[in-house]
Amino acid sequence: MIVQRVVLNSRPGKNGNPVAENFRVEEVNLPDNINEGQVQVRTLYLSVDPYMRCRMNEDTGTDYITPWQLSQVVDGGGIGIIEESKHANFTKGDFVISFYWPWQTKVILDGNILEKADPQLVDGHLSYLLGAVGMPGLTSLIGIQEKGHIIAGSNQTMVVSGAAGACGSLAGQIGHLMGCSRVVGICGTHEKCLLLTSELGFDAAINYKKGNVAEQLRELCPAGVDVYFDNVGGDISDAVISQMNQNSHIILCGQISQYNKDVPYPPPLSLAVEAIRKERNITRERFLVLNYKDKFESGILQLSQWFKEGKLKIKETMINGLENMGAAFQSMMTGGNIGKQIVCISEDTSL
């Protein structure tokens, strides 16, 4: 059977901006038979995420993410349906999920890398298991629980950068749900600002491309900032940190403004901002959600419950077609998405 797949066509270089042409689509032959322990799956949804930028380099700079190889199939978060199984845990028709899902229309996988996906957790919206009720949701929830130090009823102000993205759009809502009295988002378009305040419950939003971020923060956070959920790093974070209170906390989720630069992760703060951080005893510890696997199950159940109760609004940007993986990745890296960026490969769940 002929199937389509996406391979890494070229590397953008450690200081380059990724483009759609870094990826290419090709056809390959899928074997007719599967071996013991394997399953054949049809891909339904694939995820593109900022961390993947590191995988485009020969050296990812981390020990827990491996680089993609040139002319080899690219992989990441994915969901599909089993068409044939020779693995004891799975039967035909099961929905399954993996973080190492090849960007391919149909694929034969070792069943051991798969987990069953439960559509009931998301009222049948399977793609949400790659977003709000998946890793981005867990990253936001556990990050806030472990590093945010929110005390309900203590009038804390939270600021979220990258606030209209996969993690940011959830983090602001979770901040409110966990007891922050004020949540302010920073994003890059007027449309995103409106969405944050009208649909996602943010108290205010700042468009960093318009006007002075520091001035707007002073106006919108009169009592200073107690918790900062940081998705971007760079100048925006410098402006936020400068207005943080004594003994406040930074949740270091991501640094997308720095991902196209050859700098360590997390990137060091400038001397002036680091001096403020030390003087005010602001915590800025590296946060890696994979270190909290014992909290995943309860976290997913909490996110699912909030979603079903209407307390957690889920946004996603859906692009159709495997041939658009590269374009979806480029768009996500430049803020083209609202909420989670997902690529729909097939909506056909019939067998």
Provide the percentage of residues in the chain whose pLDDT is more than 90.
93
Provide the 10 A C-beta neighbour count for residue 315.
20
Q: What is the pLDDT of residue 255?
A: 86
Is residue 282 over pLDDT 90?
A: yes
Q: Is the dihedral of CA 96, 61, 142, 317 positive or negative?
A: negative
Is residue 337 over pLDDT 90?
A: yes
Q: How far apart are CA 271 and CA 191, in angstroms?
A: 35
Q: What are the pLDDT digits (tens) for 298-319?
A: 999 999 999 999 999 999 999 9
Using CA atoms, how far residue 317 sits from 190, 272, 283, in Å, is 17, 38, 33
Q: What are the pLDDT digits (tens) for 107-143?
A: 999 999 999 999 999 999 999 999 999 999 999 999 9
CA-based end-to-end distance of the chain: 16
Q: Is the dihedral of CA 57, 80, 139, 223 positive or negative?
A: positive
Q: What is the pLDDT of residue 175?
A: 98
Degrees (nearest 5) of the Cα angle 254, 257, 262?
95
Is residue 195 over pLDDT 90?
A: yes
Q: What is the pLDDT of residue 71?
A: 98
